[in-house]
Chains A and B, each alone.
Chain A
């Protein structure tokens, strides 16, 4: 059973297109995150949702719009894709109050903008 699953695993698209990445967790966690990992492996927080409510929104261009239909799902929609958006995007989840157990990450979505 996959704990945090992301789709698609690979995404190649042209500049200017709009794309979505989906994430689902079956751990019963109440908090979900989107991270961006660049080519140098630097993992940076983008968004955090707790029980479907946005609680963290780092300085991310407003072309990126997260949506959480329920606490098990957190999707990421990206408008007008740019070359600099190429990266690996990770979804993660945790249960508030038990962060000492760390976050559970998905396997990532490698986005390539050409």
Chain B
């Protein structure tokens, strides 16, 4: 069973159509949850770190939120340049500090 599950696998939006991506996790203790953006042919690029339930972080049209079992990446009025794969990673307390990645959500925003 995957510790980190992202949904949907793929999402197509029209420009301006807001939506949310989900990352659910099943670790006994959360040290940190990370969001990354990955463009085709590039490495993941760090976006946010969240640590505790109720925390929120924002960057331009993106807002990440965290509950005890999942995180959402809200995209408000997306533009075509927001098209990318969004990866979530979870760092567990007490073990290796290496985050475990989910399989990502591929987002395409049509003009």
**Residues of A with Cβ closer than 8 Å to B?**
4, 33, 40-45, 48, 56, 90, 92, 99-108
Contact = CB atoms under 8 A, between A and B. Distances in A.
Contacts of A103: 44, 46
B31 to A, nearest CB: 9
Nearest to B46: A102
Contacts of A48: 98
A85 to B, nearest CB: 19
B42 interface: yes
A2 to B, nearest CB: 11
* Range for the number of chain B residues in contact with chain A: 20 to 34
A104 B41 contact: no
B43 A107 contact: yes
Given A43-B87, A44-B101, A107 B41 contact: yes
A100 B30 CA distance: 13
B41 A43 contact: no
Given A41-B104, A48-B98, A100-B49, A4 B43 contact: yes
Nearest to B32: A100
B63 interface: no
